Amino acid sequence: MIELPQFPSQKELSLDDFSQIESLLSKKQIYSSDFAIYNLLGWYLKNPPQISKLNDFLIISVEGPDNLYLFLPPLGNGDLSSTLKKILDSCNPPVLRFVPKKITEEIQKSLPPAQILPLRDDFDYLYERIDLAELNGRRFHQKKNFVNRLMLNENLKIELLKDSPAEILDYLEKWYSDNSSEGLTFKLEYLAAQRMLPKLNKIGGLILIVHLENKIVGFSVASPINEDCWVVNLEKGERSIKGIYQLLNWAMANHLPAKVKIINRETDLGIEGLRISKLSYNPIGFEEKFQLFW
C-alpha cells in the first residue's frame, strides 16, 4: 500500500492509489462515476487530481473552475465530524460537491449541513448488466430489434481491442473533427481519452470495437469503479448506421467480466434527449449526488 501524505499536504493521484479507492467504494457500495479511476486521472484541463490521508479517510481533490481545486467527499471510516471540519476549513466557501447519497446520509448524522441541494443533472444512471446483455421483454423489444438487424450483416465484426489503441485515437480524431463543438465537456472528454486509452490495460478496462466492411463504425470504453460496478466512459458511433448505439450498449454488456453486476452509464448533463435515451434503457436506479453547504 502506497503511503499517502497527511492532509493538508497532498500528492498527485496515481494508478498506485486505485486499490485503496476501489476497496472503499466496494465496501460502501458507492457507484459514483466521479470516483472511477479513468475519470479521476483523465478528466481535467491542466491540474491533475490530488490525494492525501486524514484520520482514516482518503481526501481527493479535483480541478474546478478557474484552476481551483474542489474536494470530493472523504472516503473512509472513523471520526467523520472532525475530518469534515478540517476539510471545510480549507474550502472557501465551505461546500462539498458531487456527494453520493450514502455519504450524504453519513454526513447528516455527523456534521449536518445548512443546505443539501440535489444535483439531478449529475445523477449517474445504473443498470443491471444482465438486463442490457439480454434485452429481454417488451421494455427492450425495440432495442433488441435494432441489434438483431445489425447482427444479420455478415460484414459486421465485434471484437475487444488487445493491442495499441492507436486506431481508436485516430478514429476519435476524425469523429471529433466531424462533430466539432466548443463545449468544455467535449474538450475534457477528448483529453481524457488521450490520457487514459493508452493506460486502459493497466486499470483493467476494455475497448470494444465494431467493424463494418473492415472499417471502424463504433467503439465503447468501460472501466471498473469497484468490483461489482463498471462505468461506460466513452461510446462513439456512426450516426448514419441505425442502431449502432444500441449495438454498442448490448455488446459491451456481453463482454464485461461475469462478476460485474451493475453498469454505470454516467449522467445526462441535463440534456433532454440524452435523458430520454438513458431512461429508455430502464435503469434500476441512480447514484444520486448532492451539493452540501455549511
Q: State pLDDT tens for residues 39-56.
A: 999 999 999 999 999 999
**What's the pLDDT at 185?**
83
CA distances 48 to 6, 53, 160, 192, Å, are 18, 17, 29, 11
For the segment 117-138, what is each residue's pLDDT rounded down to a tens digit?
999 999 999 999 999 999 999 9
pLDDT in tens, 12-27: 999 999 999 999 999 9
Residue 227 CA, chain-centre distance (Å), reads 14
Q: Compute the distance between CA of residue 250 and CA of residue 129 in angstroms, rounded to an integer.
A: 9
What pLDDT digit, counting tens, does each position of 174-226 carry? 888 877 666 788 889 999 999 999 999 999 999 999 999 989 999 999 999 99
Cα separation, 178 vs 185, in Å, equals: 16
Whether 11-122 shares its CATH topology with 124-289 is answered: yes
- Would you state the pLDDT for residue 97? 94
Query: For residue 221, what are the CA distances in angstroms to 49, 86, 218, 249, 255?
Result: 21, 37, 11, 10, 11
In this structure, what are the phi and psi dihedrals at residue 225, rounded to the nearest 5 degrees? -95, -50
pLDDT, residue 37, reads: 96
Q: In this structure, which topology does domain 11-122 adopt according to CATH? A: Aminopeptidase (3.40.630)
H or E segment and range at residue 51: strand 50-54
* Confidence label for 30 from pLDDT (cuts 50, 70 and 90): very high
Residue 107: pLDDT over 80 = yes
Give the β-pairing of 262-264 and 229-237. Answer: parallel
Is 124-289 a domain of CATH 3.40.50.720?
A: no
| CA 20 – CA 7 distance, rounded (Å) | 16
The neighbouring-strand residues paired with 231 are: 223, 264
The domain locations on the chain are 11-122, 124-289
What pLDDT sits at residue 163? Answer: 78
Taking the C-alpha atoms of residue 167 and residue 2, their distance in angstroms, rounded to an integer, is: 34
Contact predicate 129/263, CB 8 Å: yes
Q: Looking at residue 174, what is its pLDDT?
A: 85
Q: What is the pLDDT of residue 67?
A: 77
Q: What contacts 201, CB < 8 A, 6 or more positions away?
A: none
Tell me how far apart the alpha carbons of residues 130 and 128 are, in angstroms, rounded to a whole number.
5
Report how far residue 156's alpha carbon sits from residue 133's, in angstroms, rounded to the nearest whole number: 18
CA dist., res. 27 & res. 24, Å (int): 5
